[in-house]
Amino acid sequence: MSFFQTFKQRDILLVTLTAAGIIMIINGTRQPMGLFISPLNTSTGLGLVSISLAMAVGQFVWGAAQPLAGMIADRHGARPVLLGGLCLTIVGTALIPLMDSTWGLIFTIGLLSAVGNGACSFSILIGTVSQRIPAEARGNAAGLINAGSSMGQFVFAPITTRLIQSLGWMNAMWSLVLLALLSLPLINKLTKNVPAPAAPQGTDAGMGAAVKEAFKSPSYLLLHLGFFTCGFHIAMLVTHLPGEVDLCGLPASVAGWSLGIIGLANIAGSIFVGAQINRFKSKNILAVMYGSRAVLIALYLMAPKTELTFYIFAIGLGATWLATVPPTASIVGKLFGVRYLSTLFGLTLLSHQIGAFLGAYVGGLVLFSFGDYQWMWYADIALSAMAALFNLPIKEPAPVMATAAA
Rg (CA), the chain: 20
Instruction: Evaluate whether residue 148 is within a structural domain.
Output: yes
Q: Could you count the other beta carbons within 10 Å of the beta carbon of residue 198?
A: 8
Torsion angle in degrees (nearest 10) through CA of 123, 128, 132, 138 = -20
Of 59-73, 90-104, 223-237, 361-375, the least confident: 59-73
Domain membership of residue 178 as a residue range: 8-193+207-391
Instruction: Evaluate whether residue 403 is within a structural domain.
Output: no
Higher pLDDT, 4 or 141: 141
Instruction: Evaluate whether residue 121 is within a structural domain.
Output: yes
Question: With bands split at pLDDT 50, 70 and 90, how would you rate the model's confidence at 74?
Answer: confident
* Whether pLDDT at 200 is above 60: no
* Whether pLDDT at 264 is above 70: yes
Structural domain total, the chain? 1
Instruction: Evaluate whether residue 404 is within a structural domain.
Output: no
Most confident of 108-112, 189-193, 248-252: 108-112
Instruction: Evaluate whether residue 198 is within a structural domain.
Output: no
* Whether pLDDT at 24 is above 60: yes
pLDDT of residue 37: 84
Residue 277 sits in a domain whose CATH number is 1.20.1250.20
Instruction: Evaluate whether residue 363 is within a structural domain.
Output: yes
* Whether pLDDT at 213 is above 60: yes
* Whether pLDDT at 41 is above 90: no
pLDDT of residue 170: 92
Average pLDDT, integer, range 46-64: 84
Instruction: Evaluate whether residue 274 is within a structural domain.
Output: yes
Instruction: Evaluate whether residue 399 is within a structural domain.
Output: no
pLDDT of residue 1: 45
Question: With bands split at pLDDT 50, 70 and 90, how would you rate the model's confidence at 205?
Answer: low
Instruction: Tell me the per-residue pLDDT of 101-149, one tens digit each, with 9 for 90 and over.
Output: 999 999 999 999 999 998 888 778 888 888 777 777 777 787 788 788 8
Instruction: Tell me the per-residue pLDDT of 359-403, one tens digit each, with 9 for 90 and over.
Output: 888 888 888 888 889 999 999 999 999 999 999 999 887 765 544
